[in-house]
Amino acid sequence: MRGAAVWAVAALCSGASLAQPGRERLAVCGGCHGANGQSVIAGTPSLAAQPKVFIENQLVIMREGLRDVPAMKPFVADLKDADISALATHYAALPAKTAAAPTQPDKAKAGAALAQRLLCNTCHLPDYAGQQQVPRLAAQDEPYLVQSMKQFRDLPGPGRDTIMAATLRGLSDDELGQLAHFLAHFKP
């Protein structure tokens, strides 16, 4: 018995026992978030290259009902912590891809100036790749970025990031669109 426990601990430490998300689970996630974590549905976030901790946190708070995302409820309700970790590891390892839509230079330039003024690179890093619990913004779905920023600006409340709410307070919808356009086209 002791030998089995030693082998189990050794497997955990070596990473050999890290669960891989099942094909069925990945197919379900891919239905909205894209087969390679690159969403093709406007308003749906891409998961590829998101920080592992960010994905884990979001899935847990959705599963526990602390973040209300009605479209996700049936998919996260039965997730075990090991499933969440496996999904986060899988998506974090995939590369992000920039938007296929053409960049509007004036809009991108205005968005870059806003990102600099708002110090977005302080938390999201200079390449906007995110870190730990802070999401990747570079190459994210543009409509999703606009929608998320409007929620932070307009609906501060329990479970919401107060730093983001304060940062975006007072920005117009046009400014949020400029910022989202810049970030969606930023090459990670």
What pTM was computed for the model? Answer: 0.85
Q: What's the whole-number average pLDDT of the chain?
A: 88
Q: What's 77's domain CATH number?
A: 1.10.760.10
End residue of a domain, out of 48, 68, 92 = 92
End residue of a domain, out of 71, 92, 113 = 92
Do 116 and 126 form a contact (C-beta atoms < 8 A)? Answer: no
pLDDT digits (tens, 9 = 90+) for 92-133: 999 999 878 899 999 999 999 999 999 999 999 999 999 999
What is the per-residue pLDDT for 124? 97
End residue of a domain, out of 67, 92, 117 = 92
pLDDT band for position 142 (cuts 50, 70, 90): very high
Count of domains forming the chain: 2
Residue position matching structure tokens 């205005």: 110
Do 51 and 131 form a contact (C-beta atoms < 8 A)? Answer: yes
Which amino acid, residue 27?
A
- Which domain range does residue 112 map to? 105-184
In the predicted structure, residue 12 carries a pLDDT above the cut 90: no
What is the per-residue pLDDT for 22? 83
Do 108 and 181 form a contact (C-beta atoms < 8 A)? Answer: yes
In the predicted structure, residue 14 carries a pLDDT above the cut 60: no
